[in-house]
Amino acid sequence: IVKKLSKKYSDQNINTDDGLRIDFENHWVHFRKSNTEPIIRCIAEAGTEELANKYIDKYFAEVEKLMT
């Protein structure tokens, strides 16, 4: 998943030190597997909380699609 998303967004700033963080011009999104639960956490930062939540939904849907 990390490789596929890194390739798809290779024109953005990618950091894989602790999961996968993708920095865009006006927002960023970070995926990280939990060390205590069988889940992937997704967080984002944007200009507003509403935008951040929309980005989380968008990118997490991409992760779910890659997992199927």
Q: Yes or no: say if 13 and 20 are a contact pair by the CB < 8 Å rule.
A: no
Q: Token match 């998303």: residue?
A: 5
**What domain range is 13 assigned to?**
2-67
Share of residues in the chain with pLDDT > 70 (%) = 100
Question: What pLDDT score does 1 carry?
Answer: 86
N-terminal to C-terminal alpha carbon distance within the chain: 11
Q: Yes or no: say if 66 and 5 are a contact pair by the CB < 8 Å rule.
A: yes
Question: What pLDDT score does 2 carry?
Answer: 87
Q: How many domains does the chain have?
A: 1
Q: Token match 């980005």: residue?
A: 55
Q: Yes or no: say if 55 and 44 are a contact pair by the CB < 8 Å rule.
A: yes
The segments of the chain whose pLDDT lies below 50 read: none
CATH code for position 15: 3.30.310.50
